[in-house]
Structure 1
């Protein structure tokens, strides 16, 4: 059986990260076993949804170093990071929604990031240590697919403060669920709580006849059956909607562009469940204040 690599942090480094992240109330890590299942789309819409009423301060951190799609999805392509006396400043979509990504450090969206593990890990640490996050209600972390260096680094560095848990994204077919089981096993090994699983691209509802078709047939019972077997919460199922991709390409929030669609309704229910989980599982010292 493969062992989880990595180790603890020097106390001085942990203290530094703890100080920088002390204003972050809740941290949610978004994971997927495979690419192409809608993980970054979910991260972007989770951030939009949490920030929608204007009463919460939300930050979205993109640690998908080799495939940073968050700047495009958030309508921030071409933006650059600014530095002040207190560190790097996030790039803001709205006053209460800030974003940080390696995409802001590239000269062109087409530039390839060809880095070995240590350099990726160094940048992740820099994002957490040197970015002036300020007071944040929710920090959403969009990770690359799989269970590799970036995941170990983000878990190690965030352990200095607090991780509420992980949301794992899948599609209904067995080839995707197979890798999600590995992701769940990874979370158990590194002691990251699992908020739940989201089944993305779960059927397609024809806008004309309203008939539902299974584009990705759940041959083994889909995420629902898997969650029952592994005793993990199923947060919800999101149907395919071509408008989601079009909204992401334009850098717009699908939730505000097509608020009455079945997919938008599913997203809002899932976001509500994530909020409720974070409220119930916030650190004990915060509960007693």
Structure 2
């Protein structure tokens, strides 16, 4: 019987195999993004692939190497696969940006056909755990398989990167920024651009421009949910976001204390003027389950119910109390270590409460207002 040798790999087959490899940050095939340079077929089934990176210090270099080699080794006749890197020229980066964002980038979440649900997490005052609520809800939503992002809009008091243990900076491709991620959650924050712990001293116009840039120039990809962590109160940033994201819904965070509830009510009442919808209320630090089994209401009781009832009356639409999160010192401790309690202590009462609220938000259907429907006249 004659011995048949395996067919030699071809550049065409290698490119076909590479079409199944996605850029880890843009999530589109590397062949479609023109990231594949030369494909060199050597003797004895040796294959060399040159990959064009957007920047020399691409943080995903090792992952791209693994996935490219694995794809090439699946090509019949390939014995060994090597990967070399080169950096895109300015012209190639420009072409990539236009291919991903188009000639005139806009805010994707403000477009009529957007299916991303945007929640602005608001509070009337500081100290109610708004940012902790944001990162834990985002983590819980990501665990449910949703594509989630966080925009840290608390410009002067940014804390989201630290709460997620995120130290990476966005990758810049001309005017397009690729946000880093932690635990499956994409994040952008002015804290990624500040040196050390230096303060950000900006006023209204600069704040508006920064938010606009985070929404327009950041390539978020196809998100299911975007959580926007707003600063306490009803100042410039809340007004700017109402203009930039008019269909965003407000998620009001309060504590059980009646004074905090009255202040939180003001934050939610902004919706009456901006014509936004209030998705609901989250009561944080509701009670403390002591080691002896007793339940202690450290910060009073009823604040969340009060805010939900008052906003329902004021806005003329149901505003539900979505959940009550018990006080747990571990929420602060795990946040300080850069791991949300939903991941650090997944079976804790606080984690379960966050997960329940996230489940409610994930199941809520998106309204049809503003959507292009595939309906043709009969």
- Specify the alignment match of 2:124 in structure 1: 33
- Specify the alignment match of 1:143 in structure 2: 230
Q: Does 2:161 match 1:71? A: yes
Shift of 1:256: 2.0
Shift of 1:97: 1.8
2:220 to 133, 158, 172: 133
Indicate conservation of the 8 Å contact 1:20/1:132, yes or no: no
Q: Does 2:308 match 1:227? A: yes
> How many angstroms apart in 2 are the aligned matches of 1:18 and 1:38?
28
Shift of 1:286: 6.7
Structure showing greater Rg: 2
> How many angstroms apart in 2 are the aligned matches of 1:252 and 1:287?
41
Q: Does 2:236 match 1:152? A: no
Indicate conservation of the 8 Å contact 1:20/1:129, yes or no: no
RMSD: 2.0
Shift of 1:287: 7.4
Shift of 1:253: 2.3
- Specify the alignment match of 2:294 in structure 1: 211
1:178 to 248, 252, 262: 262
Shift of 1:179: 0.9
Indicate conservation of the 8 Å contact 1:199/1:236, yes or no: yes
Shift of 1:20: 7.3
Residue ranges of structure 1 left out of the alignment (5+ in a row): 1-14
> How many angstroms apart in 2 are the aligned matches of 1:33 and 1:284?
30
How has the CA–CA distance of structure 1 residues 273 and 118 changed in structure 2, closer, same or farther, with 3 Å as cutoff?
same
> How many angstroms apart in 2 are the aligned matches of 1:284 and 1:143?
25
- Specify the alignment match of 1:82 in structure 2: 171
- Specify the alignment match of 1:100 in structure 2: 188
Is the deviation greater in 134-143 or in 222-231?
Answer: 222-231
> How many angstroms apart in 1 are the aligned matches of 2:324 and 2:202?
35
Shift of 1:265: 1.5
Indicate conservation of the 8 Å contact 2:149/2:225, yes or no: yes
- Specify the alignment match of 2:146 in structure 1: 56
Indicate conservation of the 8 Å contact 1:61/1:100, yes or no: yes
Structure 1 residue matching 2:126: 3-state secondary structure: coil
Structure 1 residue matching 2:371: 3-state secondary structure: helix
Q: Does 2:364 match 1:281? A: no
Q: Does 2:201 match 1:114? A: yes
- Specify the alignment match of 2:137 in structure 1: 46
Residue ranges of structure 2 left out of the alignment (5+ in a row): 1-103, 313-318
1:263 to 330, 350, 354: 350
Indicate conservation of the 8 Å contact 2:208/2:240, yes or no: yes
> How many angstroms apart in 1 are the aligned matches of 2:303 and 2:118?
27
> How many angstroms apart in 2 are the aligned matches of 1:117 and 1:258?
40
Shift of 1:144: 0.3
Alpha-carbon displacement from aligned partner over 1:80-114 (angstroms, at most 9, x marks no partner): 222014601111114x4210000001011x21111
> How many angstroms apart in 2 are the aligned matches of 1:33 and 1:229?
14
How has the CA–CA distance of structure 1 residues 240 and 195 changed in structure 2, closer, same or farther, with 3 Å as cutoff?
same
Name the TM-score, length of structure 2 as normaliser: 0.66
